[in-house]
Structure formats: C-alpha cells, structure tokens
Amino acid sequence: MRAGTILSPLSFIVILIVWEVIARAGLVSPLVLPAPSRIWDGLVILFTANWFAQHVWYTMAETLIGFFVGGIAAIALGILMVNQRLFKEVAYPYVVAFQVMPKVVLAPIFITWFGFGMESKIVMAIAISFFPVVINTVVGLESVEENEVLLMRSLVASRSQIFWKLAWPTALPSIFAGLKTSLTLALIGALVAEFVTAKEGLGTLITTFSFELKVYLVFAVIVVVSVLGLVLYGIMEVLERKIVFWRRSRFTG
C-alpha cells in the first residue's frame, strides 16, 4: 500500500480533530464555524426529518433532467455543426461567446421567465452544462485522422457508415469528458437558481437556514450536496470506463 493511501484519510481525521478542538475551546463562534460534531447533529436532524428527502429529490430531479436534456441537445448541436460547415461557421462564435459568459447571471432572468418552480432551475442547469458538451462533441468528431477517413473511403463507405463506425466512436472519449464536467455544472446550476428564488430544494434549505442563523444545518446541507456531487461524478466515471474502455490506448499508442 502506498503512503498516500494511508496519509490522505489520516490527514482528514487530523483536520476534523483540530477543527473540533478549536470550536470547543470557543476560539471561533459556532455561528461562523460550527464544530464537526455539531454538523453531525445537523445531518442527523436532516435525515430524520420527513421533509428532507423531498428537497434532495427536487434538486436531483432538476440536475438530472437538465443534464439529460442539455447533454442530448448539446451532442445533437455538435453533430450538426460538424456536418454542416456553413452552420458551424455561423453558430460557433455564439457557442464560444456563451461558453465564456458566466451563466449564473442568467438565473434571475430565468426565474422571471419560467417561474419559481422546477422549470427555471432545469433551464439554468441546461444553460450551464450545455456548452462544454457542444465543444467537446465538435472537438471529438474533428479528431478523426486522415488515414482513418481514407480507409473508410477506400471501402466506399456511406456518410452514415463513416459517422457511426468511425467518427462517433472516435468522439466518444471527448464527449464523455464533456459530460463529466457538465453533470457537476448542472448541479451547480440547479443550486444557484434555487438560491435566487425557490420553494423547494437543497439550495432553498441553505438560504433558509442561513437566514435563521442555523449555521450547523447549512454545513450539514453542504456535506449532503458534496456527497451527491461525488456520487454523480463516480457514476459517470464507472460509465466512462465501461463505454470508452479503449480511451487510454489512444495516448499510449
């Protein structure tokens, strides 16, 4: 076993202990930084409360719907841009411009357009997770090598055969990298939109508990959000390893 695999979790425990000691000694106000044990109490409160599950479900639904709708639309747009030169020339500058823009500024507008409910959060999740996938789809599809195209042409392959047997699998590793980023971004989008105005969701809980100065509960929700983010990322990693199993070979030759 390597030293890092022991030291990394060990350091986490040390940090928690130091944090606990500092908090108990009264060096920091619990309104600023609650002790880990207090955050644990908060987690217990959340998971025993009958209203908590529906907030988790709400935020997850916004994230996943936004991710799937945005992801599929982004891949479709990427494919369209690669296959229609003129369309790409016209549309690509917009994609790049939107990519650079900090999309959180759109959250208040989406709420006025789509209401206080789930819809505005889904739209925000789509907006923030869309562009990395578009760009990675385009880059992936364009990374097909000349000899590979010549091989397919020498077989008199049709356009759709060249796409499905060559371009699509070539692009998959890049598309997956984009999807991994965008799933995390979708969660951010849903939460930010909930911060602005919402009736339900984990973002709402964070703002509500902040106003009530229940900082230990805020931290407990942050822990839950972080774990959800990790789980979503982990699922994507597993899927990636299964679906684009050849990925490493392209770099090691």
* Long-range contacts of the stretch 49-57 (C-beta < 8 A, 24+): 54/200, 55/200, 55/201, 55/202, 55/204, 55/205, 56/202, 56/224, 56/228
Residue 242 as a binder of another protein (CB under 8 A): the answer is no
Which member of 32, 156, 211, 242 binds another protein (CB under 8 A)?
A: 156
Of residues 199 and 250, the one with the C-beta less far from another protein? 250
Q: Select 144 or 183, whichever has its Cβ closest to another protein.
A: 144
Minimal distance, residue 80 CB to another protein, in Å: 24
- 134 touches 185 (CB < 8 A): no
Stretch that binds another protein, among 26-34, 121-129, 147-155, 176-184 (CB under 8 A): 147-155
Q: Which is nearer to another protein, 57 or 245 (CB)?
A: 245
Which of 166, 220, 221, 236 lies at the binding interface for another protein (CB under 8 A)?
166
CA pair distance 248, 253, nearest whole angstrom: 9
Query: Smallest distance, Å, CB 162 to another protein?
Result: 9
Among 24, 159, 241, 250, binds another protein (CB under 8 A): 250
Asked if 165 touches another protein (CB under 8 A), the answer is: yes
Q: In whole angstroms, how close is the CB of 70 to another protein at the nearest point? A: 26
Q: CA distances (Å), 48 to each of 51, 53, 171, 205, 228, in order?
A: 9, 9, 45, 15, 18
Question: Least distance to another protein from the beta carbon of 201, Å?
Answer: 39
CA angle 147, 152, 158 (to 5 degrees): 145
Would residue 177 be called left, alpha or beta, if left means φ above 0 and alpha means ψ between -120 and 50 degrees?
A: alpha
Q: Does 253 bind another protein (CB under 8 A)?
A: yes
Determine if 160 is a binding residue for another protein (CB under 8 A). no
SS3 247: coil
CA 106 from centre of chain: 17
Query: Closest CB to another protein among 61 and 157?
Result: 157
User: What does the alpha-carbon distance between residue 37 and residue 24 come to, in Å, rounded to a whole number?
Assistant: 10
CA distances from 65 to 116, 138, 175, 187, 190 (A): 17, 23, 18, 10, 10
143 binds another protein (CB under 8 A): no
d(CA 181, CA 9) in angstroms, rounded, equals 25
Angle of helix 118-141 relative to helix 52-83, nearest 10 degrees, comes to 40
Question: What SS3 state is found at 30?
Answer: coil
Q: Minimum CB separation from another protein for residue 237, in Å?
A: 18
Stretch that binds another protein, among 41-49, 159-167, 181-189, 194-202 (CB under 8 A): 159-167
* By CB under 8 A, residue 152 contacts another protein: yes
Q: Is residue 151 part of the contact set for another protein (CB under 8 A)?
A: yes
Q: Note whether 4 binds another protein by CB under 8 A.
A: no
Binding site for another protein (CB under 8 A): 145, 147-148, 150-157, 161, 165-166, 169, 244-246, 249-250, 252-253
